[in-house]
Every structure is written in C-alpha cells, then in structure tokens.
C-alpha cells in the first residue's frame, strides 16, 4: 500500500509542477471581424482578407499576422493586426461588391489571452467541457464553447498553447477563474 501512495503522490507532484508552469499572457490589441456569407463569396472573402477561409469545420488558417477561424457553416472570426479595420473593410467592399455577405467589426467587443504550458489543457478543462487532449483537439482546431459561465472562442495554436477570445465584460471573470484553477492545480 505505501508504494501505491508514493506513486499517487508522484503523479500529483508532476501535475502540480506542470500547472505551476502554465502562463497567461494578454494578447495585443487586434482587429476582429465576424464574416458571414454564401459559398459563392468564400474565395473572394479570403482574397480580400489575405487568408483563404478554412472550409473544414472548426479549423483555423493563418497567413502572416492574419487568421481566419471557422465557427460555423457560413461564419468566420477574422483576426488581424491592430489598425487594419479600414483597409479590411475597403478590401471586402472591393472584392465582394454586391454579393450578399456580412462583415461586422467586433474589435472592441473582444479581448484575448494566451494560455501556455504543459498543463494548459488541464487548466482549461477545469472550466471547459471539451476533450482538450491533443488527439481530440489538435493544433489548428478552434470552436465556440463555454468556460464556466463565459462564452469563448478557443483555438489551439500549438501543442501546449491556446488562444482564448472572450467578450471584454467577461475578461476579468475569465482571468480570475483561470488563475484560481492554476493555483489549485499547483497546490
């Protein structure tokens, strides 16, 4: 029996060390849009934005400093460098013209935090119902989901790194809860 307790304690010690290494970093300001459109306009929208819109469910595509996250059959979250709003709006107006579509600037609605480290998925799973193991939620996968009571967009950018987009009004709640979970795991 003492051997079993020692093995269990060793596993807890490893989890605590991994959780202590998890970091939260606010992402810099960004231009954010929600694009919705019909299949006939997807290629033109990708050309206008500079990133081909992913056509696979719950996947993201990145070119340079711009990313397109597939959130639904006709909906993408577009992320770009801060200050690019006017240029992106002009490019969409030029490329999509009269094609039915919607491009809504949500830059001031959201903020983002990067969660990184060997136990990042474990910390997120304390408040998120998704299976965040790498095999189930691979690099490049993204989705709209919940973290506790806050709606988020979750994007795995690396094996041990996630970007969480959240409405600004929930940012303090999200940050505080993530930090509490990290501290509990590390204890």
> Residue 11: which CATH number?
3.30.1360.120
Among the candidates 85, 105, 125, a domain finishes at: 105
Cα(148)–Cα(117) distance, rounded to whole angstroms?
A: 21
**Do both 49 and 85 map to the same domain?**
yes
Instruction: Specify the pLDDT at position 11.
Output: 46
**Do both 84 and 176 map to the same domain?**
no
User: Is 182's pLDDT higher than 60?
Assistant: yes
Q: Higher model confidence: residue 106 or residue 20? A: 106
Please report which confidence band the pLDDT of residue 3 belongs to, taking 50, 70 and 90 as the band edges.
Answer: low
In total, how many domains does the chain have? 2
Instruction: Specify the pLDDT at position 171.
Output: 95
User: What tokens were used for 56?
Assistant: 């696979």
Stated pTM of the model: 0.88
**Do both 54 and 87 map to the same domain?**
yes
- Torsion angle (degrees, nearest 10) of CA 101, 54, 157, 106: 0
**Do both 22 and 63 map to the same domain?**
no
- 3-state percent helix, strand, coil for the chain, nearest multiple of 5: 35, 35, 30
Please report which confidence band the pLDDT of residue 184 belongs to, taking 50, 70 and 90 as the band edges.
Answer: confident
Among the candidates 84, 105, 126, a domain finishes at: 105
CB-based burial label for 87 (10 Å; 0-12, 13-18, 19+): middle
User: Is 79's pLDDT higher than 70?
Assistant: yes
Average pLDDT, the chain: 91
Short-list 101, 90, 113, CA closest to 53: 101
Q: Provide the domain limits for residue 162.
A: 2-27+109-186
Please report which confidence band the pLDDT of residue 186 belongs to, taking 50, 70 and 90 as the band edges.
Answer: confident
**Do both 84 and 15 map to the same domain?**
no
Cα(68)–Cα(71) distance, rounded to whole angstroms?
A: 9
Please report which confidence band the pLDDT of residue 5 belongs to, taking 50, 70 and 90 as the band edges.
Answer: low
**Do both 117 and 173 map to the same domain?**
yes
């Amino acid at each position: 029996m003492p051997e079993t307790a020692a093995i269990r304690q060793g596993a807890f010690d490893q989890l605590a060390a991994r959780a202590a290494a998890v970091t939260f970093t606010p992402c810099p300001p960004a231009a954010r849009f929600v694009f919705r459109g019909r299949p006939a306009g997807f290629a033109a929208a990708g050309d206008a934005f500079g990133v081909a819109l992913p056509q696979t469910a719950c996947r993201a595509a990145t070119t340079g400093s711009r990313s397109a996250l597939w959130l639904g059959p006709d909906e993408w979250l577009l992320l770009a460098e801060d200050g690019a709003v006017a240029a992106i709006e002009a490019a969409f107006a030029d490329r999509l013209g009269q094609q039915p579509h919607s491009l809504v600037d949500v830059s001031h609605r959201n903020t983002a935090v990067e969660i990184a480290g060997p136990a990042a998925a474990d910390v997120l799973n304390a408040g998120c119902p998704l299976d965040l193991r790498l095999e189930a939620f691979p690099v490049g996968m993204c989705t709209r989901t919940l973290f506790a009571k806050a709606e988020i967009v979750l994007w795995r950018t690396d094996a041990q790194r996630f970007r969480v987009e959240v409405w600004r009004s929930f940012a303090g709640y999200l940050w505080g809860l993530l930090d509490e979970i990290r501290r509990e795991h590390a204890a």
